[in-house]
Amino acid sequence: MGYAFSDPSLLNRALTRLAYAKEQGLGDAAHMDALATLGDAVVDIVVIQSLVAAGEHDKGTITNRKTNCVNMTVLRRLAEQMSVEDYVYWGKGEDAQAVWTSGRVLAECMEALIGAVYLDGGIGAVERVLKEIGLIC
């Protein structure tokens, strides 16, 4: 990702699935779910901001371009390229079923990582990360 966390606990949280946290008896603040929701919103803001800064002003065009740049397929592919699944703390059932091989699971992990970057370094850090991983079109 090209980002070093000032607060490594945020990175750890971004890589901890709810199932794992429950199995380990960790609290609600120990898993990625809230960070994924935050990351989803932050990615949208940064991508839309970059489109406007590039001179796009039509609402429909901005929405379409954002949707093409940022979607579950794109986020999942980025996570796969970064081998995110190798770093996630999976629940036992998730690990046994290799849940990261289908659906939106890896995309959610990517969103959680972006949410953690935002909390750790702010919007500027997210912009740099999204440029580094090629998400900003």
Q: What is the pLDDT of residues 28-64, one digit of tens each?
A: 899 999 999 999 999 999 999 999 999 999 999 999 9
In the chain, the amino acid numbered 98 is A
In the chain, the amino acid numbered 23 is E
Is the pLDDT higher at 135 or at 128?
A: 128
The residues near 47 (Cβ < 8 Å, ≥ 6 apart) are 66, 69, 70, 130, 135, 136, 137
| SS3 (DSSP) at 57 | coil
As assigned by CATH, the class of the 8-132 domain is mainly alpha
Indicate the domain borders of the chain: 8-132
The CB-side HSE value for 82 (13 A sphere, CA atoms) comes to: 23
Q: What is the pLDDT of residues 75-117, one digit of tens each?
A: 999 999 999 999 999 999 999 999 999 879 999 999 999 999 9
